[in-house]
Amino acid sequence: MIKHFKLKKGLDINLKGHAPHSVKAVPTKGIYSVMPNDFYGFKPKPVVKEGDSVLAGDALFINKEIPELKVVAPVSGTVTAVVRGERRKLLSIDVEAGSEQRYKSFDVKCSTGEDVKALLLEAGLFAFIRQRPYDIVANPNDTPKGIFVSTFSKMPLAQDFSFALQGEEAYLQAGINALAKIAKVHVGVSPEQEDVMCSLLPDTDIYVFSGPNPAGNVGVQINHISPVNKGEVVWAIGAEEVVFIGRLVKEGHVDLTRTIAVAGGEVKEPTYCKTLVGAPLAALLHDNLKRNEHIRIINGNPLVGIKTDINGHLAAKVTEVTVIPEGDDKDEVLGWIMPRLKDFSTNRSYFTWLQGKKKEYNLDARIKGGERHIIMSGEYDRYLPMDIYGGYLIKAILTGDLDRMEALGIYEVAPEDFAVAEFADSSKLELQRIVREGLDLLRKEG
């Protein structure tokens, strides 16, 4: 079945430094680091200690609350550190890659949904599945009403999955087929991908979403395909992570190789890199930065990614690493009244509207304004293509009103769905953080 959706709300931001379609292979060496923070909702407990040698696919840490949920090593080698922070919170487990990669092999049995679940849990790939409500790692004991996969992202500088998929098509098919044993799989694609995906996945429900960012967000797609009601659970997983599942099913081992986009205005030569989850960013950005100071390296895209630095590691669920100017060295006089031709704005008091959609902007990380109460009305709804009153939901969260959050549809959203609205917000509120706090509060009370 194919269904088309045309979304109008949203905003495409054209940033400088798109990665052209060419791939650079990055050799597997150095320290690979897996961070429990990337698996939101996990109460991590390490199952390895310093000095242990592991195979790619061996568990590094498990979830205390659901012990069968585990996260595995992307590489084989020696555990060099179990890094803990304040109050002994587990921050990361570092593995030094051995000279030759050896994989743990798994007994692949996929005849029923339970088999697939057990296999994914055992191989640590289950931890890549997120659930709605709450946008946390899915609970294997739930029965989801559907599994949703979005095969594109409209975020600025995001990875082009169609390109990353080249050569991996069979794995995507195998992954989708395996997931379909657990629950009905719904795949959201962009209009450009429609033909390819329809021929690759003839038995799957395909939904074609056209429209600006965040049309590629799985949450937006769920809202249009089958919105989450109170008491229901749906699962979502990234398209490249479905490829991981496909590799496991076909090859019998865990291979967390991604084709990530290294992009942004501060990257000398934007490119795609074939690398592994947890890879050191220094290896990806080596000799490829325009300067070393006053830049911001982001794990992910500039709207939902997390700020990191050159010593950071590729986060588990991101498909791009972006580098933009930090802007902390800029002093702009009377900026609020200047024409600011190089800046991007949704407001027509600036001249973005005059400069066409092709112009690329090299935006820096300055907030460009002070935090205020919500003044303008409807500002969030314009960038939230869901049947939800964004401004009212945000206010309900700020006032901690659980019943109203529920009534206004918080179960349907994830922080990332508010990313575009947060960009455009003239009151400069941290909407993603606010939504996250609302979801956490609801999870704790519920």
Partner 1 sequence: MNFIKKFFDKTRPTFSEGGKLHALRSVYEGFESFLLVPNTTSKSGVSIHDAIDSKRIMSMVVIALMPAMLFGMYNIGYQHYMAAGLDGSLMEMFAYGLLALLPKIVVSYAVGLGIEFVVAQYKHEEIQEGYLVTGLIVPLILPINCPLWMMALAIAFAVIFAKEIFGGTGMNIFNVALVARAFLFFSYSGKMTGDEVWVANESILGLGKDLPDTFTCATPLAEVGSGQMSASLNDMVVGLIPGSVGETSVIAIALGAALLLWTGIASWKTMLSVFVGGGLTAALFHATGSTPIEWYEHLVLGGFCFGAVFMATDPVTSARTEGGKYIYGFLIGVIAILVRVLNPGYPEGMMLAILFMNLFAPLIDYFFVQHNINRRLKRIKN
Site for partner 1 in 2-31 (CB under 8 A): 13, 15
CB of 440 to partner 1, least distance (A): 14
| Shortest CB 14 distance to partner 1, Å | 12
Rg (CA), the chain: 21
Edge-to-edge, what's the strand order for the sheet holding 31-34?
31-34, 90-97, 77-84, 53-54
- Residue 225 near partner 1 by CB under 8 A: no
List 37, 169, 350, 437, residue binding partner 1 (CB under 8 A): 350
Least distance CB 49 / partner 1 (angstroms): 32
The stretch among 29-37, 164-172, 285-293, 341-349 that binds partner 1 (CB under 8 A) is: 341-349
Report the residue number, 174 or 304, with the smaller CB distance to partner 1.
304
Considering only 3, 4, 109, 230, the residue that binds partner 1 (CB under 8 A) is 230
Q: Does 332 bind partner 1 (CB under 8 A)?
A: yes
**In the numeric block, which tokens belong to residue 186?**
């719904």
d(CA 402, CA 46) in angstroms, rounded, equals 34
Which of 23, 340, 402, 440 touches partner 1 by CB under 8 A?
340
Which one of 84-92, 212-220, 268-276, 416-424 is the stretch in contact with partner 1 (CB under 8 A)? 416-424
Please, what is the minimum distance in Å from the beta carbon of residue 272 to partner 1?
21
Cβ 224 to partner 1, closest distance in Å? 13
Segment 119 to 158, residues that bind partner 1, using CB under 8 A: 156
Among 65, 68, 195, 328, binds partner 1 (CB under 8 A): 328
294-321 burial by CB neighbour count: b if 16+ within 10 A, else e? ebbbbbbbbbbbeebeeebbbbbbbbbb
Which lies closer to partner 1 via its Cβ, residue 194 or residue 326? 326
Q: How far is the CB of 41 from partner 1 (least distance, A)?
A: 18
- Within 297-326, the residues that bind partner 1 by CB under 8 A are 298, 302-307, 324, 326
Instruction: Check: CB of residue 209 under 8 Å from CB of residue 217.
Output: no
Element (H, E) at 52: none
Please give the Cα distance from 238 to 128 (Å, whole number): 8
Residue 439 found at the interface with partner 1 (CB under 8 A): no
Between 119 and 429, name the residue whose CB sits nearer to partner 1: 429
Piece of 61-69, 119-127, 285-293, 365-373 that binds partner 1 (CB under 8 A): 365-373
Task: State the nearest-atom distance from the C-beta of 172 to partner 1, in Å.
Answer: 30
* Cα–Cα distance, 170 to 188 (Å, whole number): 18
Interaction of residue 424 with partner 1, rule CB under 8 A: yes
Closest distance to partner 1 from the beta carbon of 322 (Å): 8
Contact call for residue 45 and partner 1 (CB under 8 A):
no
Asked whether position 167 contacts partner 1 by CB under 8 A, the answer is: no
Q: Does 35 sit near partner 1 (CB under 8 A)?
A: no
- CA dist 17 and 244 (Å) reads 28
Distance (Å) of CA 155 to CA 7, 15, 209, 250, 320:
15, 10, 14, 31, 10
SS3 for 339? coil
Binders of partner 1 in range 369-408 (CB under 8 A): 369-378, 381, 387-389, 391-392, 407-408
> Is there binding between residue 170 and partner 1 (CB under 8 A)?
no
Does 446 participate in binding partner 1 (rule CB under 8 A)?
Answer: no
Could you tell me the smallest distance in angstroms from the CB atom of residue 15 to partner 1?
8
Q: How far is the CB of 373 from partner 1 (least distance, A)?
A: 3
Q: Which is nearer to partner 1, 202 or 378 (CB)?
A: 378
Name which of 242, 245, 272, 317 is nearest 163 in CA terms.
272
Question: Whole-angstrom Cα distance, residue 8 to residue 244?
Answer: 33
Q: Is residue 85 a contact point for partner 1 (CB under 8 A)?
A: no
Beta bridge partners of 307: 298
CA 269 to each of CA 16, 161, 220, 300, 319: distance values in angstroms, whole numbers, following the listed order: 12, 20, 32, 17, 18
Q: What are the beta bridge partners of residue 380?
A: none
What does DSSP say about strands 295-299 and 320-325: parallel, antiparallel, or unpaired? antiparallel
Q: Which of residues 233-252 bind partner 1 (CB under 8 A)?
A: none
Q: Does 290 bind partner 1 (CB under 8 A)?
A: no
- What are the angstrom distances between the C-alpha of 143 and each of 83, 138, 199, 205, 236? 34, 10, 29, 19, 13
Cα–Cα separations (whole angstroms), residue 319 to 16, 152, 154, 339, 421: 18, 11, 12, 35, 22
Between the two ends of the chain, the Cα-to-Cα distance in Å is 36
Q: How far is the CB of 249 from partner 1 (least distance, A)?
A: 35
